[in-house]
Amino acid sequence: MSSDTIAVIGGGPGGLRAAHAIAEIGGTVVLIEQRDFLGGTPIAENYAGLTPHGEPAGPQIQRMIEAVTAHPGTDVRLGCEVTALSGEAGAFTLTVRGPAGEQPAQCGAIVLATGFTHFDPGRETQLYGYYEYPDVITLPDLEAMLSQHQVVRPSNGQPPERVCFIQCVGSRDRHIGNEYCSKVCCGVASKEAIEIRQLLPGSKVYIFYIDMRMYGYWENEIYWPAQEKHHVQYVKGMITEVISKGERLLVRGEDTTMGRPMELEMDMVVLSVGMEPSAGTRRMARVLGVAQNKYGFIHAVGGPLDTVSTSRPGIFACGAALGPADLEDTVSSAAGAAMKAVGFLRRHAAAGAS
Ligand SMILES: Cc1cc2nc3c(=O)[nH]c(=O)nc-3n(C[C@H](O)[C@H](O)[C@H](O)COP(=O)(O)OP(=O)(O)OC[C@H]3O[C@@H](n4cnc5c(N)ncnc54)[C@H](O)[C@@H]3O)c2cc1C
Ligand code: SF4
């Protein structure tokens, strides 16, 4: 039996935006989130200030949640996961496993918004000692510290005097098969560097990069102020290893502008880890039978003019489930996926009536 409900799977910024957009244009939504709270990775990982204005993630995402839950027709199911799909576009039946056991849910179309996970810097090919040295941390580890307004060395609880970021950890790396750029980590590292300098004005902060990739507002509102106003030092170079030296960390590599080896002592090293498909994205691709690209993200089949249609009719995807994306990209693709899903159902209903 055909259904006019759209199932949105994943309750992060992408899923929230998609659910809100569908409800705003008169559609009925069931929003299925595996965690027992909405908000996605920014909430689960305690992100601090979000770009471009640095407003804390909590209240910003809370506004998105309230916009969704304010619609009485929106059915939010927390702690739930789709375990099977049957039927076809226009009349899908999902099996949803949750606190009340397994239950069927009817829907005509699906928006997949299952997001990303951070690259695990402990993989063999990474020589930066993440699991060896407590003062080697990642971008999300630092986000969690910044959200508490307290940046300290995990080894001794003292504020660091010298901090560096190492860019492209787990991205643009052929050895591990992640040749793609994760898009947000240049900007996020620059944002976090600004936040450290504001919190610890006596600190020295360095960013070691292959090349800085900024787009849109990130260039003018984050990158240039980081250098000119907050005196973050950008060094073009390849870091080959991080080892311990007494109380500090020794960062070794090559200054590629000067063409010479470099060694610098740091109190804390931050690895700018990239974005990979979440385990939920990989699982849902299999359960729903939609194609993935070679990295495991959902494959959008429509080319540059349709970035949200998947290989299966009636199923659309958005946000970081499709590949690395910042919030602007995420909410744009979510609105696009919502429009596509609503349009698809309307055409399907019109074809059934004629
Ligand atoms: C360190 C860091 C800082 C960042 N800071 C910024 C910033 O300041 N500004 C900015 O624009 N961008 C920032 N970003 C990017 C931003 O986090 C992403 O653009 C955004 O989170 C993508 O939203 P999403 O909903 O697609 O995915 P996610 O946020 O990953 O949400 C996915 C949701 O789907 C759920 N899910 C997964 N699988 C399933 C399943 N099978 N069933 C049900 N639910 C499931 C998850 O539990 C989660 O709730 C940052 C990224 C990083 C790594
Ligand atoms: S955004 Fe920057 S740090 Fe991230 S992968 Fe791309 S170039 Fe590397």
CA of 317 to the centre of ligand 2 (A): 23
Ligand 2 atom at minimal distance to the Cα of residue 167 = 3
- Residue 126 to residue 228: CA distance in whole angstroms: 32
Pocket of ligand 1 (CB under 6 A): 9-15, 32-35, 40-42, 47, 50-51, 81, 113-116, 118, 139-140, 143, 184, 188, 191, 275, 278, 280, 283-284, 319-321, 325-328, 330
**pLDDT score, position 124:** 67
Q: Write out pLDDT tens, residues 189-209.
A: 999 999 999 999 999 999 999
What's the mean pLDDT in 103-123? 95
Please give the residue range of the domain that contains residue 244: 119-274
How far is residue 116's CA from residue 325's CA, in Å, rounded to a whole number? Answer: 9
Q: Which of 247, 274, 301 is the last residue of a domain?
A: 274
pLDDT digits (tens, 9 = 90+) for 159-200: 999 999 999 999 999 989 999 999 999 999 999 999 999 999
- What string of DSSP letters covers 189-225? HHHHHHHHHHH-TT-EEEEEES-----THIIIIIIHH
Looking at the fold, whether 86 and 183 belong to one and the same domain comes out as no
Residues 65 and 127 in one domain: no
Mean pLDDT for all residues in the chain? 95
Q: For a pLDDT cut of 70, what percent of the chain falls above it?
A: 99
**Any idea which ligand is nearest the CA of 212?**
2
Is 130 a residue whose pLDDT tops 90?
Answer: yes
Instruction: Examine the domain organization and report whether 282 and 269 are in the same domain.
Output: no
Residue percentage of the chain with pLDDT more than 90: 92
How many domains does the structure of the chain reveal? 2
Shared domain for 31 and 123, answered yes or no, is no
Considering every ligand atom shown, identify the ligand nearest to the alpha carbon of residue 182 and give its number: 2
- As a dihedral over the C-alpha atoms of residue 179, residue 184, residue 188, residue 191, rounded to 10 degrees, the angle is 130
The last residue of one of the domains, among 274, 296, 314, is 274
Q: Are residues 318 and 254 in the same domain?
A: no
d(CA 172, CA 158) in angstroms, rounded, equals 33
| Same domain? 264 vs 298 | no
Peptide bond into 52 cis (omega under 30): yes
Atom of ligand 1 nearest to the CA of 81: 42
Instruction: Please indicate, yes or no, whether residues 261 and 298 belong to a single structural domain of this protein.
Output: no
- Tokens of residue 208, six digits: 């070691």
Domain's final residue, options 274, 295, 320? 274
One domain, residues 190 and 217:
yes
Distance 297 CA to ligand 2 centre (A): 17
Select from 116, 126, 138, 167 the residue to mutate for testing ligand 2; criterion: most ligand atoms less than 8 Å from CB.
167
Report the alpha-carbon distance of residue 301 to residue 31 in Å, rounded.
24
Query: Are 326 and 285 contained in the same domain?
Result: yes
| pLDDT per residue as tens digits for the range 304-350 | 999 999 999 999 999 999 999 999 999 999 999 999 999 999 999 88
Question: How far away, in angstroms, is 148 Cα from ligand 1 center?
Answer: 20
Ligand nearest to the CA of 215: 2
User: E-strand spans in the chain?
Assistant: 5-9, 28-33, 49-50, 55-56, 74-78, 81-88, 91-98, 101-107, 109-112, 116-118, 136-138, 162-169, 204-209, 233-245, 248-255, 260-266, 268-273, 275-277, 315-317
The yes-or-no verdict on residue 354 having pLDDT over 90 is no
Q: State how far the Cα of 18 lies from the Cα of 46, in Å rounded to an integer.
A: 22
End-to-end CA distance of the chain: 16
Site to substitute for ligand 2 among 126, 128, 179, 182, most atoms within 8 A of C-beta: 182
What would the two tokens of residue 148 be? 């508490």
Q: d(Cα 218, Cα 36) in Å, to the nearest integer?
A: 32
Let me know whether 212 and 250 are in one domain. Answer: yes
Residues 132 and 254 in one domain: yes
Which of 115-119, 253-257, 294-298, 312-316 comes out lowest in average pLDDT?
A: 253-257
Predicted structure pTM score: 0.97
34 secondary structure, DSSP code? S
Residue 182, ligand 2, Cβ within 6 A: yes
Q: What are phi and psi of 253, to 5 degrees?
A: 180, -155
Most ligand 2 atoms within 8 A of CB, residue of 128, 172, 190 to mutate: 172
Mutation pick for ligand 1 pocket among 278, 308, 316, 331 (CB with most ligand atoms within 8 Å): 278
Q: How far is CA 257 from CA 167, 168, 190, 211, 235, in A?
A: 16, 18, 20, 11, 8
Query: Crossing angle, helix 13-24 and helix 57-69, to 10 degrees?
Result: 30
Tell me the sheet residues that pair with 95. 84, 104
Residue 2's pLDDT band (cuts 50, 70, 90): confident
Q: 121 with 17: CB under 8 angstroms?
A: no
User: Counting ligands in written order, which one lies closest to the CA of residue 324?
Assistant: 1
DSSP line for 136-200: EEEHHHHHHHHHTT----TTTSPPPSEEEEEEEETSSBTTTTB-S--SSHHHHHHHHHHHHHHH-
Q: Tokens 């609503």 appear where?
A: 342
CATH number at residue 166: 3.50.50.60
